[in-house]
């Protein structure tokens, strides 16, 4: 049997958090760290997955019906992608990664896209990157129960190294924007977090409630906030509306080389996430402040879904 080896990177979001699941704008980029899936087709009808980080093995039928119930839990992401792919032959594979788990760097999305690429290779079928990302998002919903948007999966599927990827989460169009050689992106781990059972789903529910009042958040402007009576929902809406504007301004700043302006927008984004969307915490806030005090740093913010994870900063190369 021919051994197939594929990989998918993690991602860090430069700006645009909690905007993707309301069809807004985001500006993430892929990382050097990645997840690798290596394996081969085998006789029979069972799929066998091993992980370098877990002695437990995940075994399930190629016609898996309920991937969200499998154990170990990391195997659910693989199984959910198998179900998304349809007819898949039996195979065995080993998963390795240098992405930190539960850090806000999309280790689960990297596993989903790596699995999709592995299936594409062993079957020889057509599966374009955008369609694979959409399948991976559905797989994430099944495997984790988290109602995430498309940002992580699409950035990982189409991202280009040393470039930010501007994504319109409504039509899934994207544009690669070079990171200047004079700029360094710094990612720093702060605290382990989990989105499963967290307040993430509550934020999604808040946004759905807001859209029932004022229509699509993507199309709203700050004036729409006046019609939202509930204070919590008004703050949530203010974050999403202004964050979309910040992403568009960041795209322009990065494209035109206005790195100081880009940095200020990152700081504004963190304040909005902390005060209006309430997805930060004292440790994350302190980490951002510490980064801002370092030489050459132009901007810093928490990144990802929040409630822990990593902070990201941009700084001039010294």
DSSP code per residue over 264-315: HHHHHHHHHIIIII----HHHHHHHHHHHTSTTEEEEEEESS-SSEEEEEEE
Beta strands in the chain (DSSP E): 4-15, 25-41, 46-51, 54-61, 91-97, 163-168, 173-178, 183-191, 297-303, 309-316
Among 17, 20, 129, 152, which one carries the catalytic annotation?
A: 152
Q: How far apart are CA 176 and CA 166, in angstroms?
A: 6
Hey, what are 52's tokens?
A: 């370098």
Cα dist. 228→16, 210, 233, 236 in Å?
22, 8, 7, 10
Q: Are 301 and 16 a contacting pair, CB within 8 Å?
A: no
Q: Are 299 and 15 a contacting pair, CB within 8 Å?
A: no
Hey, what are 31's tokens?
A: 């990382």
Residues 6 or more apart whose Cβ sits within 8 Å of residue 232: 206
DSSP 3-state of 70: coil
Q: How far apart are CA 114 and CA 137, in angstroms?
A: 13
Q: Are 307 and 279 a contacting pair, CB within 8 Å?
A: yes
Is position 221 annotated as part of the catalytic site?
Answer: no
Give catalytic residues, as residue numbers: 152
């Amino acid at each position: 049997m021919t051994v197939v080896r594929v990989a998918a990177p993690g991602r860090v979001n430069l700006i645009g958090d909690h905007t993707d699941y309301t069809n807004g704008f985001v500006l993430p980029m892929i990382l050097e760290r990645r997840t690798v899936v290596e394996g081969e087709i085998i006789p029979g009808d069972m799929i066998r997955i091993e992980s370098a980080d877990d002695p437990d093995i995940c075994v399930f039928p190629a016609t898996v019906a309920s991937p969200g119930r499998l154990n170990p839990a990391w195997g659910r992401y693989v199984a959910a992608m198998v179900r998304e792919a349809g007819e898949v032959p039996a195979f065995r594979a080993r998963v390795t990664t240098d992405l930190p788990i539960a850090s806000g760097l999309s280790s689960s999305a990297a596993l989903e896209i790596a699995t999709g690429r592995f299936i594409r290779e062993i079957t020889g079928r057509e599966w374009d990157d955008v369609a694979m990302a959409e399948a991976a998002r559905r797989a994430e919903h099944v495997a984790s129960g988290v109602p995430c948007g498309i940002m992580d999966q699409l950035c990982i599927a189409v991202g280009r190294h040393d470039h930010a990827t501007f994504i319109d989460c409504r039509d899934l169009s994207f544009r690669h924007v070079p990171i200047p050689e004079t700029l360094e992106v710094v990612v720093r781990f702060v605290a382990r977090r989990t989105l499963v059972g967290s307040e993430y789903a509550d934020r999604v529910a808040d946004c759905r409630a807001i859209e029932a009042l004022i229509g699509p958040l993507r199309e709203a402007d700050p004036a729409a906030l006046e019609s939202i009576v509930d204070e919590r929902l008004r703050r949530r809406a203010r974050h999403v509306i202004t964050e979309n504007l910040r992403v568009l301004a960041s795209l322009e700043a990065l494209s035109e080389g206005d790195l100081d302006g880009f940095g200020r927008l990152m700081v504004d984004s963190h304040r909005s996430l902390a005060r209006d969307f309430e997805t930060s915490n004292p440790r994350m806030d302190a980490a951002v402040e510490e980064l801002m005090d370092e030489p050459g740093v132009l901007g810093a913010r928490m990144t990802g879904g929040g409630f822990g994870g990593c902070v990201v900063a941009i700084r001039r190369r010294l």
